[in-house]
Structure 1
Amino acid sequence: MDNFTIVRTEHLNHHGYLFGGALLKWIDEYAWLVASLDFTGCTLVTIAMDDIQFKHRVRNGSILRFSILPQRQGRTSVTYGVEVFADEPGGPEEKKVFSTTITFVRVDEEGNSQPLPKLERMRSEG
Structure 2
Amino acid sequence: MENFKLVLPEHLNHLGKLFGGQLLRWVDESAYIAARMEYPGCNFVTIGLSQVEFRQQVVAGAVLRFVVTKVKQGNTSVCYEVDVNEIDDCHAKSVFATTVTFVNIGPDGNKVPVV
TM bucket normalised to smaller: over 0.9
Note closer, same or farther for the CA distance 1:92–1:15 as it changes in structure 2 (3 Å cut).
farther
TM-score in terms of structure 1 length: 0.88
Partner of 2:8: 8
Question: RMSD across aligned C-alpha pairs, in angstroms?
Answer: 1.1
User: Deviations along 1:36-58, whole A, 9 cap, x unmatched?
Assistant: 00000111110111110000001
Aligned length: 115
Q: CA deviation at 1:80?
A: 0.4
Q: Which has a greater percent of strand? A: 2
Alignment identity in percent? 44
Q: Distance in 2 between matches of 1:42 and 1:77?
A: 10
Runs of 5+ in structure 1 lacking a partner? 118-126
User: Where does structure 1 differ by over 3 angstroms across 4 or more consecutive aligned residues?
Assistant: none
Note closer, same or farther for the CA distance 1:112–1:13 as it changes in structure 2 (3 Å cut).
same
Q: CA deviation at 1:98?
A: 0.3
Within a 5 Å distance, the mapping from 1:58-69 to structure 2 comes to 58-69=58-69
User: Deviations along 1:73-117, whole A, 9 cap, x unmatched?
Assistant: 1100000000000124xx572211000000000000111100112
Runs of 5+ in structure 2 lacking a partner? none
TM-score in terms of structure 2 length: 0.96
